[in-house]
Amino acid sequence: MDELKKKIREIPDFPKPGILFYDVTTLLKDPEGLRAAVDVFTQRYADKRISKVLGIESRGFILGPVLAYNLNAGFVPVRKQGKLPAETLNVSYELEYGTDTLEIHKDAVEPDERVLIIDDLIATGGTAAATVEMVETFGANLVEVAFLIELSFLNGRAKLPSDLPVFSVLKY
């Protein structure tokens, strides 16, 4: 896994001073890096009967569909407000300053489905928590929430339900 970490570019003070940004584009452009990252998720969920992979905008749109394809599951985008064309379910969550809203199509998930949420990175956990709330509204079975990177020092897991399995490949 240290090999994977080496492929992720770290950019200080982006998008604002004090933030160390983990840029996964350098991993994604590397054929071996991309394969290794996707393989970890595919192997973990291969026999979990996942029917829908929910990817969070925007880097969850890169890993999510590849994983869904490998699992014979469908892919559903969770988007920032105002991007989805049909009827949506909205969940707002707190940011450092103000709030943000995520949306999902109302007909995207059925109550009997087995759902996996994926994003590139969990920081404070607000984004993931809002997406978990969506799955709960659908009444679907949330199997796990998965991330390539977890910023453990921010303890984002604490924002998620305590009985919900959370998986991350690389911890910082």
Going across the sheet that includes 52-56, the strands are 88-94, 99-105, 74-80, 52-56, 114-122, 141-150, 166-171
Judged by CB, which is closer to ligand AMP: 82, or 111?
82
CB of 23 to ligand AMP, least distance (A): 7
Is 94 among the residues known to form the active site? no
CB of 151 to ligand AMP, least distance (A): 6
In the chain the beta strands, taken as DSSP E runs, fall at 9-12, 20-23, 52-56, 74-80, 88-94, 99-105, 114-122, 141-150, 166-171
CB of 99 to ligand AMP, least distance (A): 12
Binding footprint of ligand AMP on the chain (CB under 6 A):
19-22, 56, 59, 119-128, 156
Is 96 among the residues known to form the active site? yes
Task: Single out the catalytic residue among 57, 96, 103, 114.
Answer: 96
Catalytic annotation, residues: 59, 96
